[in-house]
Structure 1
């Protein structure tokens, strides 16, 4: 057993491991390679892998969460170990490495994501489950019927937009997004890294609804081959209740399906009733749950 800092060359093995443990999470090799090689600025992001016989069988990443106004909050992101190598101490060793990385940064509160079957492990390490995140899948053959946009609303691929307009809409729509840590302080530079410059972002399939030159709703698509991830769908508060989030998501699904995507995945907080209702109407089926878990670092 060996725990070490991840390197860009680990990307293919990390993606293969993710496909085994959490196949509903979509991130390709090149975007994973870039994330390891060029981590987000200002977040002290790092990742660790667990090796057995020179084979990557575990992964975890850790970071300072900078998109929130709450101070000294860190994240440990989806620690996972290959099923054939569990119950041998690898998960504990990865968690220790991630925690040891965060503590010198002054992090006092940590949010971690855990698979449902890993909740006993989380509790043993003083992480308390807080919120359920539900994962769903939609087969895109056939795609849902796409209605015409209402008068005054123009649908555009985000690749045709000034990214600053999309950023403004993203900040406005995310301000009341349910979660343990509010997303209320994301800088443009951080958003640019996470969203606009992400190698998996499909700018042709990601769709925005525009009214009088402003983005009022949008649906982002990240893609890996014939699989896609609905990264974020939202509308600005003043335009909610008009079906525009659902419209942009349907348009994004149509664009993606027309270019070869066969299955779409997404996730929602258990309390996000509007998006859960939209997904149910579109035909999404539940595939898994994870839990946001919280712990204090002494």
Structure 2
């Protein structure tokens, strides 16, 4: 059996569909569609040097890698490679070859520190460590049976507080950009991120095909966006909380719960049956909120790091 690694051909529907399929098989808690894969490739920032790779085993795509530079990080030289192999097709060297090609690409573009997410399972962690990666922080994937689960009842917002949706900001999304930038900057992470490019955010985030503007809930306090819960959907059954956050000046008032509960109730009414989300293992407040909703941990990933040179 022969394994080769090559660049994904974005104009080839079969390539894009296989890329999304492998990701779903390897990590079903990440919502991925051919449209979302194609969008990410088309709108990647030039400074990210984004390179999607596929591994073929005798002509069949069995592995993928998302590779790039964290151009929006406050620290230079941060690279990432996230490798996924079809669980039914492991043991043929596809993962190792993807790692090698990805590392060569990142080193060429100035990366000095490489980050990768690895499922917290013995074989996966051993694979990462054999390639020189060492464990860092961890994160959980959580799931909720949206069709049959008992969501907390909706509550009436207090005076001065209003529930809206992202669709209400279609004419001017900048207030959503400001809120997203502030909350993302405060997320626990090995790679600190700072959103400063509004046009890039519009292309990469606001216009992302998975982002459901009608199901993304926004809490306004005295007319100002104060909290939100962003909804990713696959148009069929899967609903994912892409980001839930509150502006610093409004934290501690239960606004994130208000936004997420509103979004979950409307997602269930729209026919979505499976809800997923992800949390840094050290983000106690958000883990507590998700437990309150009835989410349960389904899997854990461990971020691994390798220093070059």
Measured against the shorter chain, the TM-score band is over 0.9
Aligned residue among 87, 112, 132 for 1:126? 132
Matched, 1:282 2:288: no
Task: Map 1:1-298; keep pairs closer than 5 Å.
Answer: 1-8=3-10, 9=13, 10-77=15-82, 79-117=83-121, 118-141=124-147, 142=149, 144=151, 145-161=153-169, 162-224=172-234, 225-298=236-309
Q: CA offsets, 1:148-201, max 9 Å, x none?
A: 112111111101113110111111112221111112344223322332010111
Q: Is the 8 A contact 2:43 2:204 kept in 1?
A: no
Distance 1:275 1:186 in 2: 25
Shift of 1:222: 0.8
Q: Is the 8 A contact 1:138 1:285 kept in 2?
A: yes
Distance 1:121 1:209 in 2: 43
Q: CA offsets, 1:51-97, max 9 Å, x none?
A: 113211000011110222101111112x1111222122111100011
TM-score, normalization: structure 2?
0.92
Distance 1:219 1:109 in 2: 31
Distance 2:150 2:168 in 1: 24
Distance 1:238 1:26 in 2: 32
Shift of 1:26: 0.4
Give 3-state SS (helix, strand or coil) of 1:184's partner: coil
Q: Is the 8 A contact 2:150 2:294 kept in 1?
A: no
Shift of 1:234: 0.3
Q: How many residues align?
A: 297
Structure 1 residue ranges (4+ consecutive) displaced by more than 6 angstroms after TM superposition: none
Give 3-state SS (helix, strand or coil) of 1:42's partner: helix
Shift of 1:45: 0.6
Give 3-state SS (helix, strand or coil) of 1:18's partner: helix
TM-score, normalization: structure 1?
0.96
